[in-house]
């Protein structure tokens, strides 16, 4: 038996696991294929790269992802700590400066003398089967696990279904946005109050501390944009279109094709805004969220897409305020690799057929940055328990971290990747109608169960 634990993949789950294991005084060998090889969505040589939106979602305890973050804070998550330290303004959400975030995680891991980073791809010359013969291995290679390893995973799990597809949103520079049209404002805080005069309202807007840039659209502008969007050319990716698409990360053009008003009830909903130029609610509204600490680049919220790059430029520039937008990153469609954890794993993310192997991160079917970090935490504690021959560490299903682990390891024929949400936690003993109050009680119940 090796005197170290092997982790494959230095993304969000892998780096959290490495930190937690080293914290217990155990050595870690961390395989990361970058910078020798990059997935289609990774481009930064650092570990813990954030590939799409820079948002870790809400910080409120009445939001399941907010509660999950708080649980992780209490469990001393390195990545949530660094996310807090590198946060950028985003209202009630936790959004990070992706460069600073990855840089700081990398420094932390590189400077830990118990962690050895090996920049090699597993699945080519190095086999996961060989690694797991000699000791404990954690596979945390994410949604874009390289092909040779994906093949090996298929062999060790005996499963043929490993993939489906989802998409990422484009990013534009702030200086290229037309602020004669665009305005800063957070939903609901920006509306003109009934008892406010127009002058009072405008003064309040000038002094507000808002995180989002908003682009209001009239009916005519929306219709023009909509018609171009549904007819725009998409990237032809062999049999991509036939594959399953995850509802939570649906390309904007596919959502649009569901009906002319679908976007106006989704990412382009104008609710909670009055256009400062007209003092009226716009017909539709596009939001941009700050993407770096300095506030120089912004992502277009909900605009994950599979349009050809030229088409993205042409169609998204029809949005008022983006006529001259400079795109520093275009949206992409990407593969999402995950195993059928519901039959393969137990609730410590341990492979039932080979107890030396754990899976962590998006590959287990948890969906999202924070969810991936949370599985990295659970796996690390259990890899340590296995290494030390002590009892497994499980979390109450009344916590989000425990509920997610339970969800992905429970039989389910309709299994699809799962975000943190209150629907996977057990109901309270008492019936509470008010949703906010109910979630607050669920959050209180959870945090009581998290032992520090």
Ligand X SMILES: Cc1cc2nc3c(=O)[nH]c(=O)nc-3n(C[C@H](O)[C@H](O)[C@H](O)COP(=O)(O)OP(=O)(O)OC[C@H]3O[C@@H](n4cnc5c(N)ncnc54)[C@H](O)[C@@H]3O)c2cc1C
- Collapsing DSSP to helix, strand or coil, 146 comes out as coil
What residue spans of 120-197 are helical by DSSP H?
A: 128-134, 147-157
Of 35 and 158, nearer to ligand X (C-beta) is 35
- Collapsing DSSP to helix, strand or coil, 266 comes out as coil
Of 5 and 149, nearer to ligand X (C-beta) is 149
- Where does this chain touch ligand X (CB under 6 A) — which range of 9-17, 174-182, 260-268, 318-326? 9-17
Of the candidates 251, 276, 361, 365, which one interacts with ligand X according to CB under 6 A? 361
- Where does this chain touch ligand X (CB under 6 A) — which range of 77-85, 93-101, 144-152, 238-246? 144-152
- Secondary element (H or E) of residue 93: strand 93-96
Is position 141 an interface residue for ligand X (rule: CB under 6 A)?
yes
Of the candidates 369, 395, 415, 439, which one interacts with ligand X according to CB under 6 A? 369
- Where does this chain touch ligand X (CB under 6 A) — which range of 108-116, 170-178, 283-291, 355-363? 355-363
- Where does this chain touch ligand X (CB under 6 A) — which range of 18-26, 174-182, 340-348, 356-364? 356-364
Asked if 45 contacts 38 with a C-beta cutoff of 8 angstroms, the reply is no
How far apart (Å, rounded) are the C-alpha atoms in residues 370 and 363?
Answer: 14
- Where does this chain touch ligand X (CB under 6 A) — which range of 96-104, 188-196, 342-350, 368-376? 368-376
How far apart (Å, rounded) are the C-alpha atoms in residues 141 and 236?
Answer: 26
* Closest chain position to ligand X (CB): 11
Of 10 and 282, nearer to ligand X (C-beta) is 10
Strand partners, 146: none
Strand partners, 40: none
Is position 142 an interface residue for ligand X (rule: CB under 6 A)?
yes
Residues 6+ away with beta carbon under 8 Å from 147: 123
Q: Record the tokens describing residue 154, joined without a space.
A: 């298929």
Q: Record the tokens describing residue 199, joined without a space.
A: 């002058």
Cis preceding linkage at 178, omega within 30: no
How far apart (Å, rounded) are the C-alpha atoms in residues 268 and 287?
Answer: 8
Is position 402 an interface residue for ligand X (rule: CB under 6 A)?
no
Radius of gyration of the chain (CA): 23
Question: Minimal distance in Å, beta carbon 149 to ligand X?
Answer: 4
Of the candidates 5, 7, 12, 408, which one interacts with ligand X according to CB under 6 A? 12
Is position 53 an interface residue for ligand X (rule: CB under 6 A)?
yes
Is position 146 an interface residue for ligand X (rule: CB under 6 A)?
yes
- Collapsing DSSP to helix, strand or coil, 252 comes out as helix
Of 109 and 217, nearer to ligand X (C-beta) is 109
Of the candidates 58, 348, 372, 374, which one interacts with ligand X according to CB under 6 A? 372
- Collapsing DSSP to helix, strand or coil, 320 comes out as coil
Residues engaged in binding ligand X (CB under 6 A):
8-14, 31-34, 39, 41-42, 51-53, 121-123, 140-146, 149, 168, 332, 334, 361-363, 368-369, 372
């Amino acid at each position: 038996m090796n005197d170290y634990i092997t982790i494959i993949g230095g993304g969000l789950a892998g780096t959290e696991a490495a930190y937690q294991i080293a914290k217990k005084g155990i050595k870690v060998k961390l395989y990361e294929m970058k910078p020798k090889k990059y997935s289609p969505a990774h481009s930064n040589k650092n570990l813990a790269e954030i590939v799409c939106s820079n948002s870790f979602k809400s910080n409120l305890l009445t939001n399941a992802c907010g509660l999950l973050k708080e649980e992780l804070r209490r469990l001393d998550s390195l990545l949530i700590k660094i996310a807090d330290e590198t946060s950028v303004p985003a209202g009630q959400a936790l959004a990070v400066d992706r460069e600073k975030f990855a840089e700081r995680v990398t420094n932390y891991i590189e400077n830990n003398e118990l962690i050895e980073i090996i920049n090699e791809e597993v699945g080519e010359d190095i086999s996961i089967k060989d690694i797991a013969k000699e000791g404990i291995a954690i596979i945390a290679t994410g949604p874009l696990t390289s092909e040779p390893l994906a093949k090996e995973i298929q062999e060790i799990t005996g499963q043929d279904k490993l993939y489906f597809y989802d998409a990422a949103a484009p990013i534009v520079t702030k200086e290229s946005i037309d602020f004669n049209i665009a305005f800063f404002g957070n939903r609901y805080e920006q509306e003109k109050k009934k008892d406010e005069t127009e002058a009072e309202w405008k003064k309040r807007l000038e002094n507000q501390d808002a995180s989002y840039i908003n682009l209001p659209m009239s009916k005519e502008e929306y219709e023009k944009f909509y018609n171009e969007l549904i007819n725009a050319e998409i990237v032809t990716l062999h049999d991509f279109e036939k594959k399953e698409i995850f509802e939570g990360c649906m390309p904007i053009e596919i959502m649009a094709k569901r009906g002319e008003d679908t976007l106006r009830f989704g990412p382009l909903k104008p609710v909670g805004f009055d256009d400062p130029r007209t003092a009226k609610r716009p017909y539709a509204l596009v939001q941009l969220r700050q993407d770096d600490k300095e506030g120089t680049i912004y992502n277009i919220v909900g605009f994950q897409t599979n349009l050809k790059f030229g088409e993205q430029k042409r169609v998204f520039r029809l949005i008022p305020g983006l006529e001259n937008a400079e795109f520093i990153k275009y949206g992409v469609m990407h593969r999402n690799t995950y195993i059928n954890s519901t039959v393969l794993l137990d609730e410590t993310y341990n492979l039932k057929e080979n107890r030396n192997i754990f899976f962590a991160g998006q590959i287990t079917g948890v969906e999202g940055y924070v969810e991936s970090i949370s599985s990295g935490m659970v796996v690390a504690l259990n890899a340590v328990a296995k290494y030390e021959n002590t009892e497994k560490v499980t979390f109450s299903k009344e916590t989000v971290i425990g509920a997610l682990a339970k969800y992905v390891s429970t039989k389910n024929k309709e299994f699809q990747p799962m975000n943190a949400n209150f629907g996977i936690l057990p109901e309270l003993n008492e019936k509470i109608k008010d949703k906010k109050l109910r979630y607050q009680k669920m959050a209180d119940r959870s945090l009581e169960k998290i032992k520090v």
